[in-house]
Amino acid sequence: MAEAILKITESKSGNVLILVLEGEVDAHTAPVLKETAEKKITEGNTKIVFNFAKCTYISSAGIGVLNSILNAVKAKGGVIAVSEANKMITDTFKVMYFTKKVQLYIETAAAVKDLQ
Protein backbone atom coordinates (compact mmCIF):
# COMPACT_ATOMS: atom_id res chain seq x y z
CA MET A 1 0.00 0.00 0.00
CA ALA A 2 1.34 3.42 -0.96
CA GLU A 3 2.02 5.94 1.76
CA ALA A 4 -0.55 8.69 2.07
CA ILE A 5 0.38 12.13 0.79
CA LEU A 6 -1.04 15.47 1.89
CA LYS A 7 -0.44 18.71 0.00
CA ILE A 8 -1.54 21.97 1.60
CA THR A 9 -2.06 25.11 -0.47
CA GLU A 10 -2.88 28.41 1.18
CA SER A 11 -4.53 31.65 0.18
CA LYS A 12 -6.14 34.60 1.96
CA SER A 13 -9.47 36.30 1.51
CA GLY A 14 -9.51 39.40 3.66
CA ASN A 15 -8.62 38.27 7.17
CA VAL A 16 -9.55 34.61 6.51
CA LEU A 17 -6.88 32.04 5.75
CA ILE A 18 -7.93 29.26 3.37
CA LEU A 19 -6.01 25.99 3.52
CA VAL A 20 -6.78 23.63 0.65
CA LEU A 21 -6.03 20.03 1.60
CA GLU A 22 -5.18 17.66 -1.23
CA GLY A 23 -4.76 13.94 -0.61
CA GLU A 24 -5.39 12.11 2.65
CA VAL A 25 -5.34 13.21 6.29
CA ASP A 26 -4.38 10.18 8.36
CA ALA A 27 -1.93 9.22 11.11
CA HIS A 28 1.01 9.72 8.74
CA THR A 29 -0.01 13.08 7.27
CA ALA A 30 -1.87 14.66 10.21
CA PRO A 31 1.38 15.97 11.74
CA VAL A 32 2.02 17.95 8.54
CA LEU A 33 -1.41 19.56 8.87
CA LYS A 34 -0.82 20.31 12.55
CA GLU A 35 2.60 21.86 11.93
CA THR A 36 1.31 24.01 9.06
CA ALA A 37 -1.74 25.22 10.98
CA GLU A 38 0.21 25.92 14.17
CA LYS A 39 2.68 28.03 12.18
CA LYS A 40 -0.17 30.00 10.61
CA ILE A 41 -1.86 30.53 14.00
CA THR A 42 1.46 31.76 15.46
CA GLU A 43 1.62 34.22 12.55
CA GLY A 44 -1.74 35.64 13.71
CA ASN A 45 -4.24 33.74 11.55
CA THR A 46 -7.25 33.03 13.76
CA LYS A 47 -9.94 32.61 11.11
CA ILE A 48 -9.24 29.52 9.04
CA VAL A 49 -11.27 27.64 6.43
CA PHE A 50 -10.12 24.11 5.64
CA ASN A 51 -11.13 23.35 2.06
CA PHE A 52 -11.51 19.58 1.57
CA ALA A 53 -12.43 19.67 -2.15
CA LYS A 54 -9.28 17.75 -3.11
CA CYS A 55 -9.09 15.62 0.03
CA THR A 56 -10.14 12.00 -0.37
CA TYR A 57 -9.94 10.68 3.21
CA ILE A 58 -9.70 11.73 6.85
CA SER A 59 -9.04 9.41 9.79
CA SER A 60 -9.73 9.90 13.48
CA ALA A 61 -6.11 11.09 13.79
CA GLY A 62 -6.87 13.84 11.29
CA ILE A 63 -9.98 14.87 13.18
CA GLY A 64 -7.93 14.88 16.38
CA VAL A 65 -5.51 17.33 14.77
CA LEU A 66 -8.40 19.52 13.57
CA ASN A 67 -9.78 19.49 17.11
CA SER A 68 -6.39 20.59 18.45
CA ILE A 69 -6.26 23.37 15.84
CA LEU A 70 -9.80 24.41 16.80
CA ASN A 71 -8.79 24.70 20.46
CA ALA A 72 -5.69 26.74 19.62
CA VAL A 73 -7.68 29.14 17.44
CA LYS A 74 -10.52 29.48 19.98
CA ALA A 75 -7.97 30.34 22.68
CA LYS A 76 -7.07 33.37 20.54
CA GLY A 77 -10.70 34.33 19.91
CA GLY A 78 -10.82 32.76 16.46
CA VAL A 79 -12.82 30.18 14.57
CA ILE A 80 -12.37 27.47 11.94
CA ALA A 81 -14.70 26.06 9.32
CA VAL A 82 -14.67 23.18 6.84
CA SER A 83 -15.73 23.51 3.22
CA GLU A 84 -16.34 21.31 0.19
CA ALA A 85 -15.91 17.97 1.98
CA ASN A 86 -17.13 14.91 0.09
CA LYS A 87 -19.81 12.62 1.52
CA MET A 88 -17.36 10.14 3.05
CA ILE A 89 -15.44 12.87 4.86
CA THR A 90 -18.65 14.58 5.96
CA ASP A 91 -19.95 11.26 7.30
CA THR A 92 -16.69 10.77 9.22
CA PHE A 93 -17.07 14.25 10.74
CA LYS A 94 -20.64 13.37 11.78
CA VAL A 95 -19.68 10.01 13.33
CA MET A 96 -16.90 11.71 15.32
CA TYR A 97 -19.32 14.50 16.39
CA PHE A 98 -17.00 17.10 14.85
CA THR A 99 -20.01 18.75 13.18
CA LYS A 100 -21.17 19.79 16.66
CA LYS A 101 -18.00 21.88 17.00
CA VAL A 102 -17.31 23.17 13.49
CA GLN A 103 -19.61 24.45 10.77
CA LEU A 104 -19.43 22.59 7.44
CA TYR A 105 -20.05 24.54 4.24
CA ILE A 106 -20.82 23.38 0.71
CA GLU A 107 -18.91 26.35 -0.76
CA THR A 108 -15.69 27.94 0.45
CA ALA A 109 -16.97 31.43 -0.44
CA ALA A 110 -19.87 31.04 2.02
CA ALA A 111 -17.50 29.90 4.77
CA VAL A 112 -15.20 32.87 4.16
CA LYS A 113 -18.14 35.27 4.19
CA ASP A 114 -19.40 33.93 7.52
CA LEU A 115 -15.96 34.03 9.14
CA GLN A 116 -15.18 37.64 8.17
Q: Which domains does the chain have, with CATH numbers?
A: 6-105 (3.30.750.24)
Percentage of the chain beyond pLDDT 90 is: 97
> Does residue 19 surpass a pLDDT of 80?
yes
**Residue 109 and residue 25: Cα distance in Å, rounded?**
23
Q: Regarding beta strands 103-105 and 47-58, do their DSSP bridges make them parallel or antiparallel, or are they unpaired?
A: unpaired
In whole angstroms, how far apart are CA 80 and each of 20, 37, 108? Answer: 13, 11, 12
- C-alpha 30/C-alpha 112 separation (Å) is 23
- pTM, two decimals, is 0.96
Mean residue pLDDT of the chain comes to 96
Mean pLDDT over residues 66-84, rounded? 98
Please say whether the beta carbons of 78 and 46 come within 8 A. Answer: yes
Asked whether residue 62 carries a pLDDT value surpassing 70, the answer given is yes
